Structure 1
Amino acid sequence: MAIAKAERLMNLALCLLGTRRALSKRELRDSIEAYVEAFQRGSAGSEESFNRMFERDKDDLRELGLVIETVENLDGDVGYLARRDSNRLPPVAFDPEEAAALGLAAKVWQQARLAGAASGALQKLRAAGLPEETGPESTHGALEPRIPVHESAFEPLMLACRDRRPVAFDYRKSNAVRPEPRQVEPWALECWRGHWYLAGFDRDRGAERVFRLSRITGKVRSRAGRFTAEVPDVVTVRETVASWAGEGGEGTARIRLRTGSGYPLRARALSVRELGDGWDELEIPYGRGLDAWLVEFGPDAVVLGPAELRADVVDRLRAVAKG
């Protein structure tokens, strides 16, 4: 819904809810700024244009659930109002499990700007009687969930995903030294193994792409206009990133890894064997994109096999060295 229309509907709803008597179309037209401006800009048929706009807005509010009454006054004019008792929501009630889930959700975003809004909402719910599970009997008190958000690109991208707004940013690939400009229609953000990723439509490449937020340099810039590509019903961010990292691969790769490093690799290892002299040998699943992930570990990881994986990693490292 466009911001201008949403604001107009909100103002109309507030007028109808705030009046003690039914208001005529003329009174509403003269009370709501958007209607006044539309009427003043109009030509001889501006009254008809206003009537069409008002009827659409009234129907939209009714579809949203607002109960609007039509009343005829003594002069025969038709007026409108929305009585508060007819539009009062039922009391909000939560069972202990739902209350615990809300409490956990409010703790998740402690490192993002959402923390204040989440905490404020939870305080209001508690003031209204939301049960709080505390004490030794609490089954959730020991849980302290966190979603780390260190990247400055997170918040503008989150808002762009919500508002369906194209963005532009500079992005450095794993095998590149210098970032490249990207124009993206953002679809969804998702956290996978401690890193945030953005899925969207890359306009320059004309295809779906996934971007790691830690590789975005500089500011995320908003772009005017609408999306040019259809947003899929299901955006598989994790599955895409997992395939790049070799998750679900049919083969295996042998990696020599420096002792005390590469914990994400060790977590996926099928077997680990000590080689001595500060090195271990790991066997890990091998799938498409594993070479890009291994490059990130720099000199701490050496590919022993298969040969094509070793060649791909060497090519990426040479590309970085040339840059």
Structure 2
Amino acid sequence: MSDQKTERLINLTLALLSSKRYLTKSEIFKNVAGYSGSAETMERMFERDKDDLRNLGVRIEVRALDPLFEDDQGYLIDSKTFQINPNDFSKEEILLLTMAANLWHGSALQHDSKAALLKIQSLDGLVATNSVASPVVEDNEDSKKLLLIIDAVERFVSLEFEYKGTVRQVKPYGIYTRRGFWYLAAQENDVVKSFKVIRIGEQIKVISKSQGFTKPAEFKLSTFIEGLNAPTT
């Protein structure tokens, strides 16, 4: 599946999941990024996208909006029936989900994109977002930095970077968001600390092989976030 199609499916999922009412196709084509071309082209894209989502186990509800016009249909994903295994997503797709949620934040159709995102992401997984403020992630150097960090967390690779004017060597355990910012939870000198990602220098070096360290079995990202009593740098 191409990155463009993946991003469109994610945008469509979040739009239908976040909306409190049934959306018409015209509203979807107008507001969901990724639909373009003639009316027939967008119609074909939408039909294929619906089939792809249903094959993934996503239940899309369809309802006639006007009893006199059966062709005037609306579409919605009921959050109560929405279940996707977060392990089905790659680290790149997790970031796309985050970016898509932020695109919907503040839009006329969005009411609860953060809750939608939380249903997809696993709090004890690689990435955790809180329900207070989801930070904006743009497709630039910031997203590249996050991808590198997520990859390091996933492969248990130690990192070296400049932070507040000092070179730091850490073992990354996970990333999370708090008060609108991304943070890296990582062990430095036998202490698990929080590093604000925007303060991490652009030059991030990998200083160990894959599986270069072992994360303690008792470490849980959700517990770390809830405690917030670990040193924050």
TM-score, normalised by the number of residues in structure 2: 0.42
Higher Rg:
1
